[in-house]
């Protein structure tokens, strides 16, 4: 079979869709485990844990490679799904739509393309709300940092209404006003008068997430999101859509790559249903708990 045929045939499309889909399932588990730190630890302990996790994810070379693979998988999975849906509709006999669809397939399997499209909309919104703000967006003031290392020189310890907080309670906070401190290379703090590096920090993504879902983190540079209720509902509804998508997609992916046998099909189906419920539920609980101020 030629390379062109391998990419154009319906069997090949289902195969690659299954592989990228299963890879994205692995990504969902890892992403959920990291995000659960937002609710498993409260207060400053939780802020430290999540910001350290986010820093590691942004700076580890292997994680960066996996991130690019994830972006590729999302795009490929989405485009492949759309092309497969179009091809199936074109090849379907004229009278097929009049048959009893429920007898041939579930409503979820018939609407996988629509569910996938809704999930893609959510991914774009999600990245715009967090990834873009943390990595791309440029503003007049640097992204607020959660300081983790400070050069202890009292010369630079001045008071300010907006300041960086340190993990170590014994060290005074460093001022954040532009007259005293400037940020270079995203995470390095410099004293403006002497251009001496006086500290380092993590981007405070923990406070960004909490403010986005309704908590007032103005003390850290993030005011309360006035539309938090709508975004919380949007995130929860998106996880319901993801659940329906996974309900059919998980088990069908194994069939597409040839893992299909009566002795273990029931195990795969049950595992898929469990995965389709627990993973989206885990993601949905996070914004709900933050919005209800339960952390």
Output the DSSP codes for 124-193: HHHIIIIIHHHHT---SSPPPEEEEEE---GGG----SSEEEES-TTSPPEE-STTTEEEETTTEEEETT
Chain centroid offset of residue 52 CA: 16
Q: Is the pLDDT of residue 78 over 60?
A: yes
* pLDDT value at residue 64: 87
pLDDT in tens, 177-233: 455 677 777 778 787 777 777 777 888 999 999 999 999 998 888 999 999 999 999
For residue 64, CA distances in Å to 49, 56, 91, 131, 181 come to: 20, 10, 40, 14, 30
- Contact at 8 Å (CB) between 244 and 108? yes
pTM of the model: 0.79
Q: Which positions ≥6 away from 152 have C-beta within 8 Å?
A: 171
pLDDT in tens, 138-188: 776 778 888 777 665 544 444 333 445 555 544 445 555 455 677 777 778
């Amino acid at each position: 079979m030629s390379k062109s045929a391998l990419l154009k045939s319906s069997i090949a499309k289902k195969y690659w869709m299954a592989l990228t889909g299963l890879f994205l399932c692995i990504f969902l588990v890892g992403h959920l485990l990291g995000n659960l730190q937002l609710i498993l630890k409260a207060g400053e302990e939780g802020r430290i844990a999540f910001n350290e996790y986010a820093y590691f994810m942004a700076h580890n070379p292997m994680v960066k490679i996996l991130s690019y693979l994830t972006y590729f998988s999302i795009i490929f999975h989405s485009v492949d799904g759309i092309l497969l849906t179009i091809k199936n509709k074109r090849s379907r006999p004229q009278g097929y739509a009049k048959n009893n669809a429920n007898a041939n397939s579930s409503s979820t399997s018939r609407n996988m393309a629509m569910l996938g499209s809704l999930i893609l909309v959510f991914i774009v919104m999600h990245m715009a709300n967090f990834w873009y703000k943390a990595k791309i967006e440029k503003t007049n003031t640097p992204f607020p940092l959660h300081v983790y290392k400070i050069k202890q020189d009292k010369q630079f310890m001045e008071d300010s209404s907006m300041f960086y907080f340190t993990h170590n309670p014994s060290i005074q906070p460093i001022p954040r006003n532009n007259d005293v401190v400037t940020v270079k290379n995203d995470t390095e703090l410099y004293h403006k008068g002497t251009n001496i590096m006086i500290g380092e920090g993590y981007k405070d993504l923990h406070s960004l997430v909490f403010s986005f879902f309704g908590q007032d983190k103005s003390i850290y540079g993030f005011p309360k999101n006035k539309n938090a209720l709508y975004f919380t509902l949007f995130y929860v509804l998106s996880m319901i859509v993801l659940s329906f998508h996974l309900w059919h997609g998980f088990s069908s992916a194994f069939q597409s790559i040839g893992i299909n046998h009566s002795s273990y099909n029931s195990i795969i189906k049950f595992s898929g249903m469990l995965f389709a419920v627990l993973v989206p539920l885990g993601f949905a609980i996070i914004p709900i708990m933050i919005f209800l101020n339960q952390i």
